[in-house]
Amino acid sequence: MAETIRILLRTRSSVSLHALAHSHGWSRLAPFDWNGDAGLLHRTEHLRSDSVIELCFKQADKDAIEVHITSETALSDPDGDEVQARARWMLCLDADLDEFYELCRSDPHLAHVPAEQSGRILRSPTVFEDAVKCICTTNTTWSQTMGMVRRLVEVLGKPGPISAQRAFPTPQAVATVDDDMLQRQVRLGYRTSYVHELARRITAGEVDLEAMQRSSQPTSEHYAQLLRIKGIGPYAAASLLALLGRYDYIGVDTWARKLVSKEFYDGEPVSDKQVQSAFDSFGRWRALAYWFYRWDD
DNA sequence: TTCCAGGGGTAGA
DNA sequence: TCTACCCATGGA
């Protein structure tokens, strides 16, 4: 018999679950499931103890998020601690955005950020999951990205205790299937070998992406480390760093080029360097300013 | 059929 | 460091 408990996650400043869900497309990528009408964010989660739980996030008040945790049996203390840590990480609840908000208030394209308690980017609980998702956004359409991630979860993820929803597969689960199966059933295209190799290297202990969550190394070192992973280039590395709370690099893609061209160069074609420097006035917040820049597309 | 999408790897200069 | 070419996939 599954059981559900409720915990409250408080922040030092205001937080908006709605803004988090709209911070980018991640809330529409499995195993996230955003119900905008009800204001509920669902997710199935595979813990280190190998138990699988289901989470439901809901806005409690302006500086707190409520989480309903459903598990097969009562949560152990370590599992409970892990869930709290993962939930806080996913919602960036410990981010200090005061300085960024101050910069936003003087820019009409960004004044909405503090006004809407925005500025947090929804992220996955593991860097592995975010890395795979970033790889799945490259050189493809958004609908295909959603399909790739959904199939990855459906084929290799472990099911939750009450619904048909599954968790994001662990590196071990991805590493142990053969390339052919990954290619045929998940249809990642040429990304198959990238995702497979990343999972294998993590499982073998050759790469430790999760250490980046708590690392104090300079961002440039992480950037270089990410670029050494096959399938991760400048765009994916910059996006991953933003998800890690490091906003030094802008992920230059077709969208970024379009924005910078229209807003800063009167519609003229722009180089990648021009895109990188377009938000330099925001200093260490430049990629976050780019991320939330509101303009007439 | 051809193009291309929230790029990236590789070879060659 | 830069450029050209190729890479699976699937919708337009």
Along the 297 residues of chain A, how does pLDDT read in single tens digits?
A: 899 999 999 998 999 999 999 999 999 999 999 999 999 999 999 999 999 999 999 999 999 999 999 999 999 999 999 999 999 999 999 999 999 999 999 999 999 999 999 999 999 999 999 999 999 999 999 999 999 999 999 999 999 988 889 999 999 999 999 989 999 999 999 999 999 999 999 999 999 999 999 999 999 999 999 999 999 999 999 999 999 999 999 999 989 999 999 999 988 888 889 999 999 999 999 999 999 999 987
Q: What is the pLDDT of residue A297?
A: 77
- Distance, Å, A286 CA → B13 C1': 34
The answer to whether A213 CB is within 7 Å of strand C is no
Q: What is the pLDDT of residue A98?
A: 97
Q: Using CA atoms, how far apart are residues A159 and A25, in angstroms rounded to an integer? A: 23
Q: What is the pLDDT of residue A100?
A: 98
Nucleotide nearest to A252 (CA to C1'): B6
Q: Which residue is nearest to nucleotide C7 (CA to C1')?
A: A190
Q: What is the pLDDT of residue A1?
A: 80
Please give, chain by chain, protein residues whose CB is below 7 Å from any atom of strand B: A 24-25, 137-142, 144-145, 190, 194, 227, 229-237, 239, 253-255
Q: What is the pLDDT of residue A296?
A: 85
Contact call for residues A293 and A259 (beta carbons, < 8 A): yes
- Distance, Å, A40 CA → B3 C1': 39
- Distance, Å, A252 CA → B3 C1': 22
Q: Residue A18 burial (CB < 10 Å; 0-12/13-18/19+)?
A: middle
The answer to whether A143 CB is within 7 Å of strand C is yes
Mark the nucleotides of strand B covered by protein, meaning any atom under 7 Å from a CB. 5-10
Total-model pTM: 0.97
The answer to whether A139 CB is within 7 Å of strand C is yes
Instruction: Name the residue with tokens 């806080």.
Output: A88
Which 146-175 residues of chain A approach strand C with CB closer than 7 Å?
147
Nearest CA-CA partner of A11 in A89, A79, A69: A89
Nearest CA-CA partner of A80 in A133, A27, A25, A7: A7
